[in-house]
């Protein structure tokens, strides 16, 4: 069963353009790594400096574990660390934003 996980991240002020540019050129090896780790889809919305992600993935915790030391993800996270207020090194047990309600 596919999980939908919501995430919230925040840009450093002044990095909006660099963030958009980075995401217009996702490295193919990162796309491959994400898919191999069970990611079905990853969507990001931005409001000011706030970023909202929805990740459809086979198993979110397994995905994070698989990508924690993957060279493509390590390089990408290093790039994102330059742009985001809080760096994610994939070492924690992040579970995303708590779901409050869903249309039945």
Question: Catalytic amino acids?
Answer: 23
Q: Which long-range contacts (CB under 8 A, 24 or more apart) does 21-24 make?
A: 22/79, 22/80, 22/83
Burial label, 50 (beta-carbon count in 10 A; 0-12, 13-18, 19+): exposed
Domains of the chain: 3-81 (3.30.70.1090)
User: Rounded distance, CA 17 to CA 20, Å?
Assistant: 5
Q: What is the pLDDT tens value at each position of the chain, 104 positions in all? A: 999 999 999 999 999 999 999 999 999 999 999 999 999 999 999 999 999 999 999 999 999 999 999 999 999 999 999 999 998 988 888 899 999 999 99
Q: The whole model's pTM is what?
A: 0.93
Residues with Cβ within 8 Å of residue 69, at least 6 apart in sequence: none
**If DSSP codes are grouped into helix, strand and coil, which group holds residue 16?**
helix
67 and 73 Cβ atoms separated by less than 8 Å:
yes
């Amino acid at each position: 069963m596919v999980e939908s996980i919501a995430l919230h991240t925040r840009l450093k002020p002044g990095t909006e353009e660099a963030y958009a540019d980075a995401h217009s050129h996702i490295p193919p090896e990162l796309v491959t790594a994400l898919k191999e780790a069970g990611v079905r889809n990853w969507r990001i919305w931005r409001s000011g400096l706030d970023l909202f992600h929805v990740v459809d993935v086979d198993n979110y915790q397994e995905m994070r574990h698989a990508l924690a030391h993957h060279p493509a993800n390590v390089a990408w996270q290093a790039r994102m660390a330059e742009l985001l207020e809080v760096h994610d090194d994939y070492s924690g047990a992040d579970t995303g934003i708590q779901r409050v309600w869903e249309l039945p």
